[in-house]
Amino acid sequence: MPVWINGELLPDNEARISVFDHGLVVGDGVFETIKVTYGQPFALTRHLTRLAASAAGLGLPAPDLDGLWAGVEAVVGAYRGIALARLRITVTAGVAPLGSERGDSPLTAVIALAEQRPPADFVDVAVVPWTRNEHGAMAGLKTTSYAENVRALAFAAQQGAAEAIFANTAGNLCEGTGTNVFVVTGDRLVTPPLSAGCLAGVTRALVLEWAGAAEEDLPVGALAAADEAFLTGTTRDVQPIRNVNGSLLASVPGPVTRKVSDVFGMRAAESPDP
Protein backbone atom coordinates (compact mmCIF):
# COMPACT_ATOMS: atom_id res chain seq x y z
CA MET A 1 0.00 0.00 0.00
CA PRO A 2 2.01 3.03 -1.18
CA VAL A 3 1.88 6.28 0.75
CA TRP A 4 3.55 9.59 -0.08
CA ILE A 5 5.78 11.10 2.55
CA ASN A 6 7.86 14.28 2.16
CA GLY A 7 8.10 13.91 -1.61
CA GLU A 8 8.56 10.15 -1.88
CA LEU A 9 6.12 7.37 -2.73
CA LEU A 10 6.93 4.44 -0.41
CA PRO A 11 5.34 1.19 0.75
CA ASP A 12 3.40 2.05 3.94
CA ASN A 13 5.63 -0.18 6.09
CA GLU A 14 8.70 1.84 5.00
CA ALA A 15 7.20 5.31 5.56
CA ARG A 16 8.50 6.82 8.82
CA ILE A 17 7.97 9.97 10.83
CA SER A 18 9.84 10.96 13.97
CA VAL A 19 8.40 10.20 17.41
CA PHE A 20 9.24 13.88 18.10
CA ASP A 21 6.97 15.09 15.31
CA HIS A 22 4.86 17.95 16.72
CA GLY A 23 1.81 16.54 14.98
CA LEU A 24 2.12 13.41 17.10
CA VAL A 25 3.25 15.16 20.29
CA VAL A 26 0.64 17.94 20.48
CA GLY A 27 -1.56 17.67 17.36
CA ASP A 28 0.23 20.62 15.72
CA GLY A 29 -0.81 20.14 12.11
CA VAL A 30 -3.51 20.52 9.50
CA PHE A 31 -5.23 18.08 7.20
CA GLU A 32 -7.70 17.53 4.38
CA THR A 33 -9.87 14.57 3.43
CA ILE A 34 -10.68 14.36 -0.27
CA LYS A 35 -13.11 12.08 -2.08
CA VAL A 36 -11.53 9.99 -4.86
CA THR A 37 -13.62 8.10 -7.42
CA TYR A 38 -11.70 5.70 -9.66
CA GLY A 39 -8.52 7.73 -9.23
CA GLN A 40 -10.24 11.11 -9.74
CA PRO A 41 -10.02 13.47 -6.75
CA PHE A 42 -13.02 15.75 -6.20
CA ALA A 43 -12.54 19.49 -5.60
CA LEU A 44 -8.77 19.19 -5.08
CA THR A 45 -8.15 22.91 -5.68
CA ARG A 46 -10.63 23.90 -2.94
CA HIS A 47 -9.15 21.36 -0.51
CA LEU A 48 -5.58 22.56 -1.10
CA THR A 49 -6.70 26.18 -0.72
CA ARG A 50 -8.32 25.31 2.63
CA LEU A 51 -5.23 23.39 3.73
CA ALA A 52 -3.15 26.52 3.10
CA ALA A 53 -5.68 28.64 5.02
CA SER A 54 -5.64 26.22 7.98
CA ALA A 55 -1.81 26.27 8.00
CA ALA A 56 -1.81 30.09 7.94
CA GLY A 57 -4.39 30.16 10.75
CA LEU A 58 -2.17 27.88 12.82
CA GLY A 59 0.87 30.06 12.09
CA LEU A 60 2.66 27.31 10.15
CA PRO A 61 4.87 28.07 7.14
CA ALA A 62 2.98 27.78 3.83
CA PRO A 63 2.87 24.17 2.61
CA ASP A 64 4.26 23.49 -0.89
CA LEU A 65 0.93 23.12 -2.72
CA ASP A 66 2.51 22.17 -6.07
CA GLY A 67 4.46 19.40 -4.33
CA LEU A 68 1.29 18.22 -2.58
CA TRP A 69 -0.63 18.26 -5.89
CA ALA A 70 2.06 16.03 -7.42
CA GLY A 71 1.91 13.80 -4.34
CA VAL A 72 -1.87 13.45 -4.74
CA GLU A 73 -1.41 12.45 -8.39
CA ALA A 74 1.20 9.87 -7.43
CA VAL A 75 -1.01 8.31 -4.74
CA VAL A 76 -4.29 8.27 -6.66
CA GLY A 77 -2.41 6.91 -9.69
CA ALA A 78 -1.43 3.89 -7.62
CA TYR A 79 -5.07 3.13 -6.73
CA ARG A 80 -7.00 3.82 -9.94
CA GLY A 81 -9.05 0.61 -9.64
CA ILE A 82 -10.74 1.63 -6.36
CA ALA A 83 -14.31 2.84 -6.92
CA LEU A 84 -14.53 5.10 -3.87
CA ALA A 85 -11.75 6.18 -1.54
CA ARG A 86 -10.78 8.89 0.91
CA LEU A 87 -7.47 10.58 0.39
CA ARG A 88 -5.90 12.19 3.42
CA ILE A 89 -3.31 14.97 3.24
CA THR A 90 -1.66 15.69 6.58
CA VAL A 91 0.89 18.46 7.11
CA THR A 92 2.44 18.87 10.55
CA ALA A 93 4.89 21.32 12.11
CA GLY A 94 7.63 18.65 11.90
CA VAL A 95 10.18 17.71 14.56
CA ALA A 96 10.11 19.87 17.70
CA PRO A 97 11.00 19.78 21.41
CA LEU A 98 8.70 17.72 23.68
CA GLY A 99 6.33 20.54 24.57
CA SER A 100 4.13 23.19 23.00
CA GLU A 101 6.98 25.25 21.52
CA ARG A 102 7.83 24.60 17.88
CA GLY A 103 11.18 23.53 16.47
CA ASP A 104 12.69 24.82 13.24
CA SER A 105 12.51 21.60 11.24
CA PRO A 106 10.73 21.47 7.87
CA LEU A 107 7.06 20.54 7.80
CA THR A 108 6.12 16.86 7.64
CA ALA A 109 3.76 16.03 4.76
CA VAL A 110 1.95 12.71 4.32
CA ILE A 111 -0.63 11.61 1.73
CA ALA A 112 -2.44 8.31 2.19
CA LEU A 113 -5.54 6.72 0.70
CA ALA A 114 -8.09 4.26 2.08
CA GLU A 115 -11.06 2.58 0.44
CA GLN A 116 -14.39 4.01 1.54
CA ARG A 117 -17.90 2.61 1.70
CA PRO A 118 -20.64 4.70 0.04
CA PRO A 119 -22.54 6.86 2.56
CA ALA A 120 -25.74 5.50 4.14
CA ASP A 121 -29.07 6.79 2.77
CA PHE A 122 -29.71 8.74 5.98
CA VAL A 123 -28.07 9.42 9.33
CA ASP A 124 -29.18 9.61 12.96
CA VAL A 125 -27.49 12.37 14.96
CA ALA A 126 -27.12 13.30 18.62
CA VAL A 127 -26.44 16.75 20.05
CA VAL A 128 -23.49 16.44 22.45
CA PRO A 129 -23.12 18.23 25.80
CA TRP A 130 -19.83 19.93 24.82
CA THR A 131 -19.59 23.17 22.84
CA ARG A 132 -17.50 24.42 19.95
CA ASN A 133 -15.69 27.61 20.89
CA GLU A 134 -16.45 29.98 18.03
CA HIS A 135 -14.04 32.53 19.61
CA GLY A 136 -11.11 30.09 19.99
CA ALA A 137 -7.85 30.22 18.05
CA MET A 138 -8.71 26.97 16.25
CA ALA A 139 -12.25 27.98 15.19
CA GLY A 140 -12.79 27.21 11.52
CA LEU A 141 -9.38 25.55 11.07
CA LYS A 142 -9.00 21.92 10.01
CA THR A 143 -6.26 20.93 12.45
CA THR A 144 -5.06 17.48 13.46
CA SER A 145 -6.24 18.21 17.04
CA TYR A 146 -9.47 16.24 16.55
CA ALA A 147 -9.69 14.42 19.89
CA GLU A 148 -12.73 16.53 20.83
CA ASN A 149 -14.47 15.13 17.75
CA VAL A 150 -13.39 11.59 18.62
CA ARG A 151 -14.90 11.98 22.11
CA ALA A 152 -18.11 13.50 20.75
CA LEU A 153 -18.54 10.81 18.09
CA ALA A 154 -18.12 8.06 20.71
CA PHE A 155 -20.75 9.82 22.86
CA ALA A 156 -23.13 9.94 19.90
CA ALA A 157 -22.50 6.26 19.14
CA GLN A 158 -23.54 5.42 22.70
CA GLN A 159 -26.90 7.09 21.90
CA GLY A 160 -27.19 5.00 18.71
CA ALA A 161 -26.27 7.95 16.47
CA ALA A 162 -23.69 8.07 13.68
CA GLU A 163 -22.79 11.76 13.92
CA ALA A 164 -22.42 14.16 16.83
CA ILE A 165 -23.69 17.74 16.57
CA PHE A 166 -22.15 20.65 18.47
CA ALA A 167 -23.75 23.87 19.60
CA ASN A 168 -21.38 26.82 20.06
CA THR A 169 -20.86 28.83 23.26
CA ALA A 170 -23.88 31.02 22.39
CA GLY A 171 -26.14 27.94 22.27
CA ASN A 172 -26.45 28.14 18.49
CA LEU A 173 -26.19 25.28 16.02
CA CYS A 174 -22.58 24.87 14.84
CA GLU A 175 -21.55 21.65 13.02
CA GLY A 176 -20.89 17.93 13.30
CA THR A 177 -17.56 16.21 13.91
CA GLY A 178 -16.91 15.95 10.17
CA THR A 179 -19.95 17.65 8.70
CA ASN A 180 -21.87 20.89 8.26
CA VAL A 181 -25.59 21.06 9.01
CA PHE A 182 -28.52 22.41 6.98
CA VAL A 183 -32.03 22.81 8.41
CA VAL A 184 -35.34 23.23 6.56
CA THR A 185 -38.13 25.09 8.31
CA GLY A 186 -41.18 25.57 6.12
CA ASP A 187 -39.64 26.26 2.72
CA ARG A 188 -36.51 27.98 4.10
CA LEU A 189 -33.14 26.25 3.92
CA VAL A 190 -30.72 27.59 6.52
CA THR A 191 -27.15 26.74 7.56
CA PRO A 192 -25.11 28.32 10.37
CA PRO A 193 -22.76 31.14 9.24
CA LEU A 194 -18.99 30.64 9.51
CA SER A 195 -19.06 33.07 12.47
CA ALA A 196 -20.87 30.28 14.39
CA GLY A 197 -17.45 28.55 14.52
CA CYS A 198 -18.02 25.83 11.94
CA LEU A 199 -15.49 24.73 9.35
CA ALA A 200 -15.89 26.28 5.90
CA GLY A 201 -16.87 22.92 4.43
CA VAL A 202 -16.13 22.39 0.75
CA THR A 203 -19.47 20.55 0.36
CA ARG A 204 -21.25 23.32 2.30
CA ALA A 205 -19.80 25.97 -0.04
CA LEU A 206 -20.85 24.00 -3.13
CA VAL A 207 -24.39 23.53 -1.80
CA LEU A 208 -24.57 27.28 -1.15
CA GLU A 209 -23.37 27.99 -4.71
CA TRP A 210 -25.39 25.34 -6.52
CA ALA A 211 -28.62 25.22 -4.52
CA GLY A 212 -28.65 28.36 -2.37
CA ALA A 213 -29.41 28.66 1.35
CA ALA A 214 -29.53 31.36 4.00
CA GLU A 215 -26.56 31.61 6.38
CA GLU A 216 -28.14 32.43 9.74
CA ASP A 217 -27.63 31.62 13.39
CA LEU A 218 -30.19 29.14 14.73
CA PRO A 219 -30.67 27.95 18.30
CA VAL A 220 -29.39 24.36 18.49
CA GLY A 221 -32.96 23.20 19.34
CA ALA A 222 -34.01 24.22 15.81
CA LEU A 223 -32.42 21.02 14.50
CA ALA A 224 -34.76 18.64 16.37
CA ALA A 225 -37.71 20.92 15.53
CA ALA A 226 -36.89 21.10 11.80
CA ASP A 227 -39.20 19.81 9.06
CA GLU A 228 -36.17 18.26 7.42
CA ALA A 229 -32.42 18.52 7.79
CA PHE A 230 -29.26 17.20 6.20
CA LEU A 231 -25.52 16.95 6.71
CA THR A 232 -22.88 17.86 4.15
CA GLY A 233 -19.34 16.54 4.04
CA THR A 234 -16.71 15.04 1.80
CA THR A 235 -17.47 11.44 2.75
CA ARG A 236 -21.27 11.92 2.78
CA ASP A 237 -22.07 14.54 0.09
CA VAL A 238 -25.66 15.53 1.03
CA GLN A 239 -27.00 13.10 3.62
CA PRO A 240 -30.55 13.35 5.03
CA ILE A 241 -30.86 13.35 8.83
CA ARG A 242 -33.43 10.79 10.00
CA ASN A 243 -33.60 11.51 13.69
CA VAL A 244 -32.16 13.91 16.24
CA ASN A 245 -31.58 12.68 19.82
CA GLY A 246 -33.84 9.70 19.09
CA SER A 247 -36.78 11.74 17.69
CA LEU A 248 -37.75 11.28 14.06
CA LEU A 249 -37.83 14.37 11.86
CA ALA A 250 -41.08 15.08 10.04
CA SER A 251 -39.82 14.30 6.54
CA VAL A 252 -36.93 11.93 5.63
CA PRO A 253 -35.68 12.68 3.07
CA GLY A 254 -37.79 15.79 2.66
CA PRO A 255 -38.44 17.44 -0.70
CA VAL A 256 -35.85 20.20 -0.20
CA THR A 257 -33.16 17.71 0.83
CA ARG A 258 -33.93 15.52 -2.19
CA LYS A 259 -33.71 18.49 -4.53
CA VAL A 260 -30.40 19.70 -3.05
CA SER A 261 -28.99 16.17 -3.20
CA ASP A 262 -29.99 15.80 -6.86
CA VAL A 263 -28.51 19.18 -7.83
CA PHE A 264 -25.31 18.39 -5.95
CA GLY A 265 -24.96 14.97 -7.59
CA MET A 266 -25.55 16.39 -11.07
CA ARG A 267 -23.20 19.36 -10.74
CA ALA A 268 -20.44 17.33 -9.05
CA ALA A 269 -20.58 14.76 -11.87
CA GLU A 270 -20.13 17.59 -14.41
CA SER A 271 -17.11 19.16 -12.72
CA PRO A 272 -14.50 17.15 -10.81
CA ASP A 273 -12.67 20.30 -9.64
CA PRO A 274 -15.45 22.89 -9.22
Ligand X SMILES: Cc1ncc(COP(=O)(O)O)c(C=O)c1O
Stretch that binds ligand X, among 79-87, 108-116, 200-208, 211-219 (CB under 6 A): 200-208
Residue 116 interacting with ligand X (CB under 6 A):
no
Name residues contacting ligand X, limited to 25-84 (CB under 6 A).
33
Residue 239 interacting with ligand X (CB under 6 A):
no
Stretch that binds ligand X, among 103-111, 183-191, 199-207, 260-268 (CB under 6 A): 199-207
Q: How far is CA 52 from CA 63, 86, 144, in A?
A: 6, 19, 14
Is the CB of 30 or the CB of 95 nearer to ligand X? 30
> For ligand X, which residue of 144, 232, 239, 243 counts as binding (CB under 6 A)?
232
User: H-helix or E-strand containing 4?
Assistant: strand 2-5
Q: Please list the residues that pair with 112 across neighbouring strands.
A: 88
Give CA–CA dist 253/198, Å, rounded: 24
214-220-225 Cα angle (round to 5)? 80
Stretch that binds ligand X, among 11-19, 66-74, 226-234, 249-257 (CB under 6 A): 226-234
| Total residues interacting with ligand X, rule: CB under 6 A | 15
List phi, psi (to 5°) of 114: -140, 145
> For ligand X, which residue of 180, 239, 243, 257 counts as binding (CB under 6 A)?
180
Map residue 205 onto helix, strand or coil.
helix
Residue 168 interacting with ligand X (CB under 6 A):
no
274-266-69 Cα angle (round to 5)? 30
Footprint of ligand X on this chain (CB under 6 A)? Answer: 33, 142, 175, 178-180, 198-199, 201-204, 232-234
